[in-house]
Amino acid sequence: MKALARYAAPLAGFATALLALLAVGGAWVRPAADDWCYQTNMRTMSVRQFVHFLYQDSNGRAGNAVLLAWVHGLGPLGLQLYPVVVVALLLGSLWLLVARLTRLAGRHAPVAVQLLTAATASLVFLLVCPQPYQTTYWASGGISHTVPAVLSTALVAAVLCLPGRRGRAGLLGRWTAALVLLLGFAFIALVSEAMALVVGVLAVALWLRAGDVCADRPARRAARLGALAAAVGSAGGLLVEYLSPGMHARSAGLGVPHGAELLHRLRDGVVTWVGDLAATVSSWDYAAVVLAGVVLGLTSRRLTAETASRPRLLRGATPWARPTPTALSAGAADTTEPERTEDLTPAHVGAAAGGRVAAGTDDSGATATADADALAAGQAVGAAPTAAAGSPDSGADAPTVGPAPAGAAGADAGGAATVAATGDAPPPALAVRSPLRLLLWATAAVLLGSLLVTELVQAVFGSWIWYMVRTWNDWRLPYTLLLAGVGVAAGRLLGKAVAPVPGVPRRRGAAALLSALVGFALVGLAQPAVAVVHQTRVRAHHWDAQQRQLEAQIRAGAKNPTYVPSYIGRMRDAYTRSGRPDWVASCIDDYYGTHIRLPAHSTDWLNQVQNAPIP
């Protein structure tokens, strides 16, 4: 699959360029809806005062208040930096997550393929939704329903870098990971209660099925400890928020029902959930992340001692080059051939290992006979290994979906010592015995999490369905990663089905066709990316002109300067499209320190309403 790996580089570059475009588009973000209120509050409040206000009087989300204070405390600049930080953190955390899961599964993949998978998943999460502007650019809403998913991914990816399998370092790594997950998800629960529900469901699923994804007992212990910490942290954060004065004030203000009316809302929530799920599953734009997962599954290879012991990025070596049996027997390290190790028969590998021992270049330095080493090497590649060793035939080496073993990175934490002592790659921490069963459990967990989120919003907000769409982001990122996992599993199966036979020429047309499909899917994602950036830029030009006009009127002594709304992202402004004042008007009055009004009989107002950019 060398050709497929080469094609992945330009595709990854294109996907990354689209993400860079979204980040650059943040320069044209201007205040909208709740931004007006928070920007005004942060002019007179410190971060501590703002957090106290939200916790005591508004909604009880202390973590949410901290993030809002950081963003709005910078003024309009904070709104423009927000998309840059979100896009960079999302791409970086997904890239690290893909790399760590691949490594822990005892596999390695080209860097370009890992980047392609992470960038495609990021694009799908940000753009394949009813309101891409709110997901990507709106800080006040995104902190509640976009940032929690991004923070959860970054938290899990960071924890996977800790050792957690054997020895004192492993024990310390496991408990460090558990503490990080406990505190991290407690904070995330104080940012978004909906995300806390999703994390709790996924953590319980991992705790129940850790034996299906972990290769040995230390990995299972690390996974279950991490899952327990995530669940307890989420529950603790929810409890703190539920007991807060702000949550009680919010419930009283919204009029949360009880008894029969609450049951009626919950029944309506099931109907709403089915409709939301149908709209999501029927979207063909999600095919992009599935195809990227297929590419990852096809190009990933079993981790060997060579790939585990030396950094290929620093050496600049091609990820597909492997020492030939001739080079091994001669003790040379620079003679390579581009054939895959999986294509060699046990006899070939055994002969190569035997030749290396005869030449005195065995990594372990042992004096065992060449026949014994040849037999061991042949069994390592050609014989049927156990499920715990990550057999490719059993699918045990496929990357997992959902929360991964916390602190399970110990699979390669002592990898260099393992390689130096035995000449073999470190054992994998993840070993999926049944990919189908794992995917079914992950699917059930994502579905249950999405149902709980919908029921929560339906019970609290009732008929405010416009708010329901925003909360899709709390479960769409796990759904996106689930689809990537489906693609990886399909790619592994496809790789076995089309494995080249020795002596038969390779077929390169299939790699070109798959790359073309991925490129076509990415082009489909380019349209909403360009559209949302263009509409943000158009709105920024109108907003800036409006700002100059308002300032000029205020300097001229106007008591009621005119204000023309600039709608975007289906969000509220000072006036509705019918000309009635909306709740945002009071925040805009406070922002400018005067009472605004619509221009009387203005053609500009009518044109603005009709041509308002709405992504």
Q: Three-state secondary structure along 87-132?
A: HHHHHHHHHHHHHHHHHHCCEECCHHHHHHHHHHHHHHHHHCCCCH
Res 297 pLDDT > 80: yes
Mean pLDDT, rounded, for 140-168: 84
Mean pLDDT, rounded, for 382-393: 36
Mean pLDDT, rounded, for 407-428: 50
pLDDT score recorded for residue 458: 80
Res 203 pLDDT > 60: yes
Ranges 119-123, 372-376, 562-566, most confident: 119-123
For the stretch 594-608, pLDDT in tens is: 888 877 655 454 445
The torsion angles phi and psi of 575, rounded to 5 degrees, stand at -135, 145
Q: Which two tokens stand for residue 411?
A: 């699979």
Q: Which two tokens stand for residue 286?
A: 């999600």
Q: Which two tokens stand for residue 529?
A: 């990316």
Mean pLDDT, rounded, for 364-385: 38
Res 257 pLDDT > 60: yes
Mean pLDDT, rounded, for 35-52: 90
pLDDT band with cut points at 50, 70 and 90 for residue 165: low
Query: 507 or 593: which carries more pLDDT confidence?
Result: 593
pLDDT band with cut points at 50, 70 and 90 for residue 469: confident
Please give the mean pLDDT across all residues of the chain: 77
Mean pLDDT, rounded, for 496-519: 75
CB 135 within 8 A of CB 142: yes
pLDDT band with cut points at 50, 70 and 90 for residue 184: very high
The one-character DSSP state at 500 is: P
Q: Which two tokens stand for residue 230?
A: 């995530």
Q: Which two tokens stand for residue 409?
A: 């990175």
pLDDT score recorded for residue 166: 56
pLDDT score recorded for residue 610: 43
pLDDT score recorded for residue 467: 60
**Alpha-carbon distance 40 to 43, whole Å?**
5
pLDDT score recorded for residue 415: 47
Mean pLDDT, rounded, for 481-509: 79
**Alpha-carbon distance 143 to 135, whole Å?**
9
Q: Which H/E stretch holds residue 302?
A: strand 301-302
Res 592 pLDDT > 80: yes
Mean pLDDT, rounded, for 283-304: 90
pLDDT score recorded for residue 233: 95
Res 390 pLDDT > 50: no
pLDDT score recorded for residue 601: 52
CB 361 within 8 A of CB 418: no
pLDDT band with cut points at 50, 70 and 90 for residue 213: confident
437-440 contact pairs (CB < 8 A, 24+): 437/212, 438/209, 438/212, 438/213, 438/400, 438/401, 439/401, 439/482, 439/485, 439/486, 439/489
Query: 457 or 206: which carries more pLDDT confidence?
Result: 206
pLDDT band with cut points at 50, 70 and 90 for residue 156: very high
For the stretch 311-353, pLDDT in tens is: 544 333 333 334 444 444 444 434 333 344 444 444 443 444 4
pLDDT score recorded for residue 317: 36
Query: 121 or 415: which carries more pLDDT confidence?
Result: 121
User: What SS3 class is residue 297?
Assistant: helix
Q: Is 20 exposed, middle or buried (0-12, 13-18, 19+ CB in 10 A)?
A: middle
pLDDT score recorded for residue 89: 96
Ranges 43-52, 54-63, 481-490, most confident: 481-490
Q: Give exposure, 218-242, as e/b (b: 16+ Cβ within 10 Å).
A: bbbbbbbbbbbbbbbbbbbbbebbe
For the stretch 237-249, pLDDT in tens is: 999 988 888 888 8
Query: 350 or 114: which carries more pLDDT confidence?
Result: 114
pLDDT band with cut points at 50, 70 and 90 for residue 17: very high
Q: Please name the residue that has the structure tokens 């190569």.
A: 352
